[in-house]
Homo-oligomer: A and B are copies of this chain.
Amino acid sequence: MEFFDVVKSRRSIRSFKKQALTQEVINQLIDAARLAPSAGNAQSWAFVLVTKPEIKQALVVAALGQKWLEDAAVVFVVCADLNRAEESYDERGKSLYCIQDTSAAVENILLAATALGLGACWMGAFREEEIRKVINAPNGMRPVALIPVGVPNESPRARSRRSANEVVYMESF
């Protein structure tokens, strides 16, 4: 699928058909994530792939009851590796760069899902400590996003965007 068509057709999908993904497709999503840029190529990230119903249910509780994620074929729990980021770039690595790196990886997953005809959604509202317990995260692993991915069961329209005039400035504000 052509790049700009992917960007234009990406949507937040919150309803999925109960259908598993092949390992090949999952690998393509993983590779898109791994190919994201990162500060100093430190790759301060980890991805926990959740497919088991009982673990997805525990994610729902930590994500304030967003039950629809249970129907996703796989939920990517995207973690920032704070220790690795701090080793490379101290406080700025830990508070900024690893958040940016994981976000670039997430965007690649969302776009890759779209390119593969799948649906996905970026979830940010959850209790981090509860998610950490569910996935048995070691010290320094901060869950920063949940990305349910699956076969879409809805086709929402594009959401509005602020115009370029409202968000773009030439040379300075």
> For residue A3, which residues in chain B have a CB less than 8 angstroms away from its CB?
1-3, 6, 111-112, 115
A3-21 CB contact bits vs B (8 Å, 1 = yes)?
1101110101000000000
> For residue A159, which residues in chain B have a CB less than 8 angstroms away from its CB?
41
Is A100 a contact of B112 with CB atoms below 8 Å?
no
Interface hits, A30-66 → B, CB 8 Å: 30-32, 34-37, 39, 41, 43, 45-52, 55
A48 to B41, CA, bound (A): 26
Is B51 a contact of A171 with CB atoms below 8 Å?
yes
Is A144 a contact of B96 with CB atoms below 8 Å?
yes
A122-142 CB contact bits vs B (8 Å, 1 = yes)?
101000000000111110010
Copies of this chain: 2
Is B137 a contact of A124 with CB atoms below 8 Å?
no
A129 to B90, CA, bound (A): 19
Residues of A within 8 A of B (CB): 1-4, 6-8, 10, 12, 27-28, 30-32, 34-37, 39, 41, 43, 45-52, 55, 92, 96-97, 99-101, 103-104, 106-108, 110-112, 115, 122, 124, 134-138, 141, 144-145, 159-162, 164, 167-173
Known: A1-B3, A48-B171, A51-B170; 18 extra A-B contacts, CB below 8 A, are A3-B111, A7-B35, A7-B108, A7-B111, A31-B164, A35-B161, A37-B107, A37-B110, A39-B122, A41-B159, A43-B161, A43-B167, A55-B171, A55-B172, A92-B124, A104-B110, A107-B107, A107-B108
